Chains A and B, each alone.
Chain A
Amino acid sequence: DGGITQSPKYLFRKEGQNVTLSCEQNLNHDAMYWYRQDPGQGLRLIYYSQIVNDFQKGDIAEGYSVSREKKESFPLTVTSAQKNPTAFYLCASRGGVSYGYTFGSGTRLTVV
């Protein structure tokens, strides 16, 4: 069964720590995306990657970093520079003839 897997589902971080959110897809999609959702707000684009070894900043990239060393994987690191990291993080991919995204089930990050 093809899909996108995000892990962990819940993540707690102490202030000042970096954490990495995992996103893996077996859909053979070229493009992958990271969005953030806050209460009462839409999904905001953090980073995206159209092909392996290439990625671009989205609208709210400050305090985040990504890598795209493999087609299947697009991990997101939330660094200590991100001032308000508590949010629901969504990974998505797109490929083939579809112009829509397939989303993972999300990771809820809480700073404690």
Chain B
Amino acid sequence: DQQVKQNSPSLSVQEGRISILNCDYTNSMFDYFLWYKKYPAEGPTFLISISSIKDKNEDGRFTVFLNKSAKHLSLHIVPSQPGDSAVYFCAASPSETYKYIFGTGTRLKVLA
């Protein structure tokens, strides 16, 4: 039973346009949410986080939106750049346990 789902295995976007990566979760106890970026044969790199007390967090080109009632979060990348091409994982954890459950990832390809 997957508690964190990324239903789109892949996404292609033109350079300069917006990339929107989606993530759904089932456990209402999840309070902390993370997005990671991963290149092949490397460890994931932290991108951005959000806690359940917020519905939006922004860091440069990256914005994460959280809709608690829908149990949905999304990562927006604007503008998308070729270097953003990677696999993106969302992760969620119940409050204060920090035991993150990861989605299966979305492979983003930004076309030049």
Residues of A within 8 A of B (CB): 4, 6, 31, 35, 40-45, 48, 58, 88, 90, 92, 94, 99-106, 108
The residue among B45, B91, B93, B102 with the most chain A CB atoms within 10 A of its own CB is B102
Q: Which single residue of chain B is at the shortest CB-CB distance from A58?
A: B99
B34 neighbours in A (Cβ, 8 Å) = 100-101
**B99–A48 contact, CB under 8 A?**
yes
Bitwise interface map of B from 34 to 71 toward A, beta carbon under 8 Å scored 1, else 0: 10100001111110010100000000000000000000
Residues of B within 8 A of A (CB): 2, 4, 6, 9, 32, 34, 36, 41-46, 49, 51, 89, 91, 93, 98-105
B49 neighbours in A (Cβ, 8 Å) = 99-100
**B42–A105 contact, CB under 8 A?**
yes
Q: Assuming the A-B contacts A94-B98, A99-B32, A108-B41, are A42 and B46 also in contact, with contact meaning beta carbons closer than 8 angstroms in the complex?
A: no
Partner of A90, one of B2, B44, B101: B44
A-B contact pairs, 5 of them (CB 8 A): A42-B2, A42-B105, A43-B89, A99-B51, A104-B43
Q: Which single residue of chain B is at the shortest CB-CB distance from A103?
A: B43
**B44–A42 contact, CB under 8 A?**
no
A40 neighbours in B (Cβ, 8 Å) = 9, 104
Q: Assuming the A-B contacts A43-B89, A99-B32, are A106 and B105 also in contact, with contact meaning beta carbons closer than 8 angstroms in the complex?
A: no
**B104–A106 contact, CB under 8 A?**
no
Partner of A102, one of B46, B98, B99: B46
A99 neighbours in B (Cβ, 8 Å) = 32, 49, 51, 93, 98
CA distance A94 to B102 in the complex (A): 16
**A101–B46 contact, CB under 8 A?**
yes
**B100–A101 contact, CB under 8 A?**
yes
Q: Assuming the A-B contacts A31-B98, A42-B105, A45-B99, are A90 and B89 also in contact, with contact meaning beta carbons closer than 8 angstroms in the complex?
A: no
Partner of A42, one of B41, B42, B45, B102: B102
10 closest residue pairs by CB, A with B? A103-B43, A42-B102, A43-B102, A42-B104, A105-B43, A103-B44, A100-B34, A106-B43, A99-B32, A100-B46
